[in-house]
Chain A
């Protein structure tokens, strides 16, 4: 299910860690990327040195455009002195990170608890 009407991200907080859980199973092009950008970038801008976890537990498919967005997010977080971690990436999606060697760029944890402790 890829409900375009629901918010693309569910934001929760664990102490001073912001957890952004992606809600769409498929992250394709343009509209999905824009929706994520419009939700996540303001979170970074509004925080002071954000500790951000992006939770991929719902995501079953993404394209290289989503990887590009993650790099942009990572850059914004770094520019503002924050930290970013990804978590709960399913094996097929993790393979995409591995093939593109982005598993070496991002901190990736098995679940949100571990990501929140280490971000």
Chain B
């Protein structure tokens, strides 16, 4: 049932939306093959989409000359991913809180909040162009 390889892997994708969705599908399939449950897969999917879109859209500004690098390892215990873009980076500590009154009606700015809510670890490098996320398996019924 799918590839249950737990080695650390790397892939590179162009900075476009369809590539992001293909990569998300692929990683989710690998997580499902490791019997992550429905709730964990939802969490991983959402955090991955947000992080990859941030890298492609905000980090690389959808520049076709820039790539997004994904390093990941999926084991029965955890989903571990590091996403790096080729942009200038940003200060994740300076992000405005999208839940504050002045930001609640803004159209964007919720991606990092959702990443932090759904993943057990979310760490940015000092320049902000790399994020490391980990989701540990929770006890639930596996899919598939």
- For window 1-56 of B, CB contacts with A under 8 Å fall at 17, 20-21, 39, 42, 45-46, 49-50, 53
> Which parts of B90-126 form the interface with A (CB within 8 Å)?
98-99, 104-108, 110-111, 113-114, 117
B117 and A29 contacting across the interface, CB-CB below 8 Å: no
- In the complex, chain B residues whose CB is within 8 Å of the CB of A99: 113-114, 117
Contacts A29-B20, A61-B46, A63-B53; A75 near B105 (Cβ below 8 A) = yes
Chain B nearest CB, measured from A36 CB (Å): 14
From known contacts A29-B20, A61-B45, A67-B110, infer whether A100 and B99 are also in contact, taking CB-CB under 8 Å: yes
Contact B49 A28 (CB under 8 A): yes
30 contacts between A and B (CB under 8 A): A29-B17, A29-B20, A29-B21, A29-B53, A31-B17, A61-B42, A63-B50, A63-B53, A63-B111, A64-B50, A64-B111, A65-B53, A65-B108, A68-B107, A68-B108, A68-B110, A69-B107, A71-B106, A75-B105, A96-B46, A99-B114, A100-B98, A100-B110, A100-B113, A100-B114, A101-B99, A101-B104, A102-B104, A105-B104, A105-B105
Top 3 A-B pairs ranked by shortest CB distance?
A68-B107, A64-B110, A101-B99
Q: Which residues on A are within 8 Å of B, measured CB to CB? A: 28-31, 61, 63-65, 67-69, 71-72, 75, 92, 96, 99-102, 104-105
